[in-house]
Structure 1
Amino acid sequence: MPLVSLPQSVHPNLPLTALAPMQDVTNLKFMKVIAHYGSPDYFFTEYFRVNETSRLNPNILAAITENNTGRPVFAQMMGESIPDLVRTAKQLCAYNIAGIDLNMGCPAPRIYRKQAGGGLLKEPAKVDRILAELRQAVHDRPLTVKMRLGFENGDTFFQILDIINRYSIDLLSLHGRTVLDRYHGSVNYNLIAEAVKRVNCPVLANGNIYSAAQALSVLSQTGAAGVMVGRWAIGNPWIFHQIRQALLCETITPVPLTEVRHYIDRLYQTPEAPNIPERARLGYLKLFLNYIALNVDSQGHFLRLMRQAQTEVELFKVCDRFLVADTTQTLALAPYSGI
């Protein structure tokens, strides 16, 4: 079966960029915020949890049906029940999606203990059955896979890559760590390079791509068709625009910290905000500030004081102190080490 054509990229002559799917982060609101600062080529939804009783989550579905970013959105599924994965894929294909993405890399124990997400990497035979059924169900648009190098080690890695070839998967997003590595330790870009040579589809390199310079380095090391950026796009939503500037050999435009302050306002201002308790709103914003702070203050004071803030007034005073007081300061091009 021939591969299905992938959606057009922002810049056809450049490697692909994608925002990695992150649960409770990559919702419709965040996609719109990212798009304001420079869209990636592709978006991926949070995962639709698939089981015997699952229905399409309306909040995640909104990232598809109400998305006005102008960029393609892949619908990500997480599950291990083959009939229900097929059922859900067919339901999602009724919407304007760029393709169906199967998550085989989630490192959350509550997921992999149910043999879903990264847990599937322990069962190549199950992966074979799932992809066979999904390929038959999803035949007129891309079927993509997001995975890691393996569960505990890379014992099943090449076997699963061969299965990906068998069913003509259209795009592979590969995080260069194992499931049990979670987000710690070094990323094995050499194995991503091996995957690029072995599979017949484009590969997006994923894992610790924290800057435009790092993106170029990873593309050079791996030969990948593009990069997928996750957590570091939270701290620097300009990163996709910066990657394109670097690929075009342009000087990366500095981002004033005053613009970072406006970014925080964009994250915080939502129609439903008045109906959410202040504590919950603060917790949501701090999730993003944990990453933003790493590109703002090399000493870690912003990170510490932000985490200590108990009210909106306190939190925004901290933000103003570090982001507005000195208008000459700019966002670092890479996270500060040692914080």
Structure 2
Amino acid sequence: MPQVSLPRTLHLNLPLTALAPMQDVTNLKFMKVIAHYGSPDYFFTEYFRVNETSRLNPNILASITENDTGRPVFAQMIGESIPDLVRTTQELCRYNIAGIDLNMGCPAPRIYRKQAGGGLLKEPAKVDRIFGELRQALNDRPFTVKMRLGFENTDTFYQILDLINRHSIDLLSLHGRTVVDRYHGPVNYDLIAEAVKRVNCPVLANGNLYSAAQALSVLYQTGAAGVMVGRWAIGNPWIFAQIRQALRSEPITPVPLTEVRNYIDRLCQTPQAPYIPERARVGYLKLFLNYIALGVDSQGHFLRLMRQAQTQAELFEICDRFLLADSTQTLALAPYSGI
């Protein structure tokens, strides 16, 4: 079966950009926030868990049905039961999705121990069957895959790349670490370059893309069709606009720390906020501030004090102290190392 055309990109003459799917992060609200600061070409949902009793998660579904960013949204699934993956694919195809994305890279032990996510990389024969069934269920919709280099090693890497060709996968997002590596250690961009040469579909390079300059370096090193940015888009939602500036050889527009403070406010602004316990609100915000802080204060004081805050008022006072004290200070173009 021939590959299917992917949705149009924002800038036809530039490499692709995508926001990586991150559980408990890339919900509808975060997609809208990212879009405000400069959309990527493609969004991917948090994963829909798929098993015998699963139903479409309404909160994740909202990131498709209520999405007014104007950008295509791929629905990501995670699971290993072939009949239920097919059933869920058919259910999702009733909605305005850009395509289906199969998660074959999640490094959470509770996922891969069930042979889902990154656990599938140990079973090429099963991957072959899943690809065949899902490709047939999708008809003319794009079918994309997000994966890693392997489970503990790269023993199945080339075999699975050949399956991607056999089943005419339309887009591959490749994280340059193994499942066991999780998010630690160097990213093997050389193997991403090998994948680019071997597969017939566009490849998005993924893994530790912390700045526009790093994205350009990885594009040059790998020959990838584009980049997928995850955690570092949490700390710098301007990163997709900055990548496009860098690709055009334009100077990157500095982001004043006062704008970072506005970004934090935007993260907090939801109709549900008053009904969420303060402890949960503070914990949710800290999830984002863990990344934001790495581009704010080279000494790590903001990060340390933020983590110690117990109340929302205390947390905001610390944010104001570091982000509003000097209107000339700007967000670092790359996170400070060693913090």
Fold-level similarity (TM above 0.5): yes
Structure 1 match to 2:86: 86
C-alpha distance in 1, partners of 2:200/2:312? 51
Classify the secondary structure of the residue corresponding to 1:221.
helix
Q: Quote how far apart the aligned CAs of 1:270 are.
A: 0.8
SS of 1:68's partner is: coil
- 2:2 alignment partner in structure 1: 2
Secondary structure in 2 matching 1:77: strand
Identity of aligned residues (%): 88
- Residue of structure 1 equivalent to 2:100: 100
Aligned partners of 1:141, 1:211: CA distance in 2, in Å? 32
Task: Report the alpha carbon displacement of residue 313 of structure 1 after superposing the two structures with TM.
Answer: 1.0
Q: What is the distance in 2 between the residues matched to 1:282 and 1:43?
A: 26
CA displacement at 1:200 relative to structure 2: 0.3
Which residue of structure 2 aligns with residue 242 of structure 1?
A: 242
Q: Deviations over 1:297-317 (max 9, x none)?
A: 000000000000011111001
User: CA shift at 1:141, angstroms?
Assistant: 1.1
Matched residue type, 1:46: E
- How big is each residue's C-alpha offset from its partner over 1:181-208, in whole Å with a ceiling of 9 and x where there is no partner? 0000000000000000000000000000
How many positions carry a matched residue from both structures? 339
2: CA distance, partners of 1:269 / 1:102? 31
Per-residue CA deviations over 1:227-251 (Å, capped at 9, x if unaligned) read 0000000000000000000001110
**SS of residue paired to 1:209:** coil
Q: In structure 2, what is the Cα distance between the partners aligned to 1:2 and 1:324? A: 54
1:84-126 per-residue CA deviation (whole Å, 9 max, x = no partner) reads 0000001101100000000000000000000000000000000
**Residue in 2 that maps onto 1:22:** 22
CA distance in 1 between counterparts of 2:269 and 2:36 reads 14
Cα-to-partner distance string for 1:109-147 (whole Å, 9 max, x where unaligned): 000000000000000000000000000001211000000
2:116 aligns to what? 116
Distance 1:68 1:214 in 2: 30
1: CA distance, partners of 2:140 / 2:66: 23
Q: Which runs of 5+ in 1 are unaligned?
A: none
CA distance in 2, matches of 1:325, 1:208: 30
Partner of 1:268 in structure 2? 268
In structure 2, C-alpha distance between the alignment counterparts of 1:80 and 1:2, rounded to whole Å:
25
**1:291 Cα deviation after fit:** 0.1
Which AA in structure 2 matches 1:32?
K
Alignment match, 1:163: 163
Q: Deviations over 1:9-46 (max 9, x none)?
A: 11000000000000000000000000000000000000
- For 1:248 and 1:92, the matched residues in 2 are separated by 37
2:316 equivalent to 1:327: no
1:132-178 CA distance string (max 9 Å, x none): 00000012110000000000000000000000100000000000000
Q: Quote the Cα distance in structure 1 between the aligned partners of 2:123 and 2:34.
A: 36
Does residue 174 of structure 1 match 2:174?
yes
Q: Secondary structure at the match of 2:185?
A: coil
Question: Secondary structure of 2:94's partner?
Answer: coil
Question: 2: CA distance between counterparts of 1:300 and 1:269?
Answer: 27
Normalized against structure 1, the TM-score is what? 1.00
Deviation at 1:284, TM superposition (A): 0.2
The equivalent of 1:251 in structure 2 is 251
Aligned mates of 1:70, 1:251 — CA distance in 2: 26
**Alignment partner, residue 51 of structure 2:** 51
Mapped partners of 2:263, 2:326: distance in 1: 17
Q: Which residue of 1 aligns with 2:293?
A: 293
Post-superposition offset of 1:74: 0.1
| Residue type of the alignment partner of 1:14 | L
